[in-house]
A and B are shown apart, each in its own frame.
Chain A
Amino acid sequence: MARYAMSIDLNRCIGCQACVVACKAENEVPLGNFRLRMRETVVGKFPNLQGEFRLEQCFHCENAPCVPVCPTGATYKTKDGIVLVDPAKCIGCKACVTACPYKMRFVHPAGHIDKCTFCDHRVAEGMEPACVETCPSEARAFGDLDKADSPVRLAMAKAQCTDVLKPETGAHPKLFYLNSRFTNGDTENQPVVVISEQVKKGE
Chain B
Amino acid sequence: MITGKPYPIKGLIAYGTNLFHTLPNVPRTKEALKNLDFYLAVDTMPQDHIAWADVVLPEATYLERYDELWTCGHKTPYIAMREPAVEPYADTKPGWWIARELGIRLGLEAFFPWKTAEEYLNTRLASIGLNLDKLREQGGVVIQKGKPWLSDFEAEKTSPFATESGKVELFAASLEKSKNKPLPEYEPTPEPPAGFFRLLYGRSPVHTFSRTTNTPILHELFPENEVWVNADQAAAMGLKNGDRVMLENQDKVRSGPIRVKATQRIRKDCVFIVHGFGHNAPGMTRAHKRGASDADLQTRYVLDPISGGAGLRVNFVRLVKEA
Any chain B CB within 8 A of the CB of A17?
Answer: yes
* Known contacts A17-B205, A45-B264, A46-B266; A31/B216 CB under 8 A: yes
Please tell me if B13 contacts chain A, counting CB pairs below 8 Å: no
Interface code B261-275, partner A: CB below 8 Å = 1, 0 otherwise? Answer: 001111110000000
Q: Which of A21, A49, A201 contacts B242 (CB 8 A)?
A: A201
Which of chain A's residues have a CB closer than 8 A to the CB of B268?
Answer: 46
Shortest CB–CB separation between residue A18 and chain B, in angstroms? 8
| Cα–Cα distance between A47 and B265 once the two chains are bound (Å) | 7
B230 within 8 A of partner (CB): yes
Beta-carbon contacts under 8 Å, B216-251 to A? 216-218, 220-224, 230, 232, 242
The 8 Å CB contact of A21, one of B217, B265, B267, is B217
Identify whether the interface residues of A are mostly helix, strand, loop, or mixed.
mixed
A-B contacts, 8 of them at CB < 8 A, read A17-B221, A21-B217, A31-B220, A42-B263, A45-B232, A49-B265, A51-B265, A202-B290
Number of interface residues of A (CB under 8 A): 23
- Whether B98 sits at the interface, judged by CB under 8 Å, is no
Verify A21–B216 contact, CB threshold 8 A: no
- Is B302 interfacial (CB-CB < 8 Å)? no
B223 touching A24, Cβ below 8 Å: no
Chain A nearest CB from B42 CB (Å) reads 27
Neighbour of B267 across the interface among A18, A24, A25, A47, CB < 8 A: A47
Interface of B is mostly: loop
| A42, B216: Cα distance in complex, Å | 28
Q: B206 near A: Cβ within 8 Å?
A: yes
Nearest to A44 among chain B residues (CB) is: B264
List 20 additional A-B contacts (Cβ < 8 Å) besides A18-B205, A202-B223. A14-B205, A16-B206, A20-B221, A21-B217, A21-B218, A24-B217, A25-B217, A31-B216, A32-B220, A42-B264, A46-B230, A46-B267, A46-B268, A49-B264, A51-B265, A195-B221, A199-B220, A199-B222, A201-B242, A202-B259
Query: CB-CB < 8 A to A14: which residues of B?
Result: 205
A32–B223 alpha-carbon span in the complex (Å): 12
CA distance A47 to B230 in the complex (A): 11
Interface residues of A (CB under 8 A from B): 14-18, 20-21, 24-25, 31-32, 42, 44-47, 49, 51, 195, 199, 201-203
Q: How far is the CB of A156 from chain B (nearest CB, A)?
A: 26
Give the distance to chain B from A2, nearest Cβ to Cβ, in Å: 27
- Min C-beta distance of B40 to chain A, whole Å: 33
Hey, which chain A residues are within 8 Å of B216, CB to CB?
31
A203→B216 CA distance, assembly (Å): 13
A182→B157 CA distance, assembly (Å): 53
- B205 near A199: Cβ-Cβ < 8 Å: no
Question: Which of B205, B218, B224, B263 contacts A202 (CB under 8 A)?
Answer: B224
Distance in angstroms between the alpha carbons of A17 and B224 in the assembled complex? 16
- How far, in Å, is B290 (CB) from chain A's closest CB? 8
**Nearest CB in chain B to that of A15: its residue:** B205
Q: Is the CB of A16 within 8 A of B205?
A: yes
Shortest distance between the CB of B184 and any CB in chain A (Å): 25
**A48 to B125 alpha-carbon distance, docked (Å):** 52
- In the bound complex, CA of A202 to CA of B225 (Å): 10
In the assembly, what is the distance between CA of A18 and CA of B206, in Å? 7
- Contact partners of B217 in chain A: CB under 8 A: 21, 24-25, 31
Q: Which residue of A lies closest to B205 (CB)?
A: A16
User: Chain A contacts of B218 at CB under 8 A?
Assistant: 21
Q: Report yes or no: A203 in contact with B264, Cβ–Cβ below 8 A.
A: no
The reply to whether B221 and A203 form a contact with Cβ atoms under 8 Å apart is no
Bound-complex Cα distance A24 to B221 (A) = 11
A20 to chain B, nearest CB (A): 6
Give the 5 A-B residue pairs with the shortest CB-CB distance, closest first: A16-B205, A202-B223, A46-B264, A24-B217, A45-B264
A203 touches B223 (CB 8 A): yes
Most chain A CB atoms below 10 A, which of B218, B263, B264, B268 = B264
Asked if A46 and B265 sit within 8 Å, CB to CB, the answer is yes
Q: How far is the CB of B228 from chain A (nearest CB, A)?
A: 11
| Cα–Cα, bound, A20→B263 (Å) | 24
B105 to chain A, nearest CB (A): 38
What's the least CB distance linking A57 to chain B, in Å? 15
B-side contacts of A46, CB under 8 Å: 230, 264-268
Which residues of the partner chain A approach B232 to less than 8 Å between Cβ atoms?
45
Contact of B206 among A17, A42, A45 (CB under 8 A): A17
Q: How far is the CB of B139 from chain A (nearest CB, A)?
A: 13
Q: 8 Å CB contacts to A: which residues of B119-150?
A: none
> Please, how many angstroms separate the alpha-carbon atoms of A199 and B290 in the complex?
13
**Which residues in A have their C-beta under 8 angstroms from that of B266?**
46
- Residues in B with CB closer than 8 Å to A44 are 264
